[in-house]
């Protein structure tokens, strides 16, 4: 792959990775510790990820248990979860915090499927914008030491790359939709 095309491959790869991280945080009715990835706890004045202030475990299919290493953080962790968009009310027994994931209703599953589809479309738009930027950059190379055939080859390669990333995005969206729609 030519160096000029490789740059756009890396950008498209980042767009796909962002989508995958975004989809991992979608709550699918099963306990998934990734829903807490963006939640920060006020740890002595510093916003710190929950994973760095306690031990996360999944004792049951629909429950996450957080055992803070410092018991004085229980209230701060609860507050951070309540302030986040996780949508689950934490309960604590003085030692650990439990998040119980309710079963998803059919209506909620359909809403999540729509949201997932939108995230997929946004990722496709990002990939297509990267392709457009690449094609514009290649057009500017006309009149330089690079021949028109080479420019055309780079544009073709970029198009193939775009199509492959769009297939990967569709696959990721389909997988997440299957996960959400399975009861």
User: What residues does each domain of the chain span?
Assistant: 3-25+105-181, 33-100
Nearest partner of 16 among 120, 132, 118, 112, judged by Cα: 120
Predicted local distance difference test score (pLDDT) of residue 183: 59
DSSP 8-33: HHHHHHHHHHHHHHHHHTS--SS--G
Distance CA 128, CA 143 (A): 26
Mean pLDDT along residues 133-138: 88
For residues 172 and 122, give the distance between their C-alpha atoms in angstroms, rounded to a whole number.
Answer: 13
**Could you say which architecture CATH assigns to the domain 3-25+105-181?**
Orthogonal Bundle (1.10)
With contact defined as beta carbons under 8 Å apart, do 31 and 58 qualify? yes
Q: Read off the pLDDT of residues 49-98 as tens digits, 9 standing for 90 and up.
A: 888 888 888 888 778 888 888 888 888 888 888 887 777 788 888 888 88
pLDDT score at 163: 92
Annotate 60-121 with DSSP letters as a single string. Answer: ETTEEEEEESSGGGHHHHHHHHHHSS-----EE-SS-EEEEPPPPPHHHHHHHHHHHHHHHH
How far apart, in Å, are the Cα atoms of 139 and each of 37, 62, 127, 145? 41, 53, 19, 13
CATH number of the domain at 33-100, out of 3.30.70.1560, 2.60.120.10, 3.30.1360.40, 1.20.210.10?
3.30.1360.40
CA–CA separation, 168 vs 112, rounded Å? 20
Name the pTM for this structure.
Answer: 0.68
More confident residue, 59 or 117: 117
Q: Can you tell me the distance from the alpha carbon of 111 to that of 114, in angstroms, rounded to the nearest whole number?
A: 5
Tell me the mean pLDDT in the region 120-148.
87
- Give just the sign of the alpha carbon dihedral 82, 16, 122, 178: negative
């Amino acid at each position: 792959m030519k160096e000029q095309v490789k740059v756009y491959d890396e950008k498209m790869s980042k767009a796909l990775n962002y989508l995958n991280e975004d989809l991992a945080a979608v709550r699918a009715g099963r306990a998934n510790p990734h829903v807490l990835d963006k939640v920060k706890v006020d740890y002595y004045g510093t916003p710190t990820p929950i994973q760095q202030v306690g031990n996360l475990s999944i004792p049951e299919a629909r429950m996450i248990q957080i055992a803070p290493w410092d018991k004085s953080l229980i209230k701060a962790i609860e507050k951070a979860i309540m302030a986040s968009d996780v949508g689950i009310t934490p309960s604590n027994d003085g030692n650990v915090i439990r998040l119980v994931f309710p079963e998803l209703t059919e209506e909620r599953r359909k809403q999540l499927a729509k949201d997932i589809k939108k995230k997929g479309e946004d990722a496709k738009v990002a990939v297509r914008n990267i392709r457009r930027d690449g094609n514009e950059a290649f057009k500017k190379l006309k009149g330089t030491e690079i021949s028109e055939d080479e420019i055309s080859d780079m544009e073709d390669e970029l198009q193939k790359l775009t199509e492959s990333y769009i297939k990967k995005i569709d696959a990721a969206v389909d997988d997440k939709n299957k996960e959400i729609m399975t009861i």
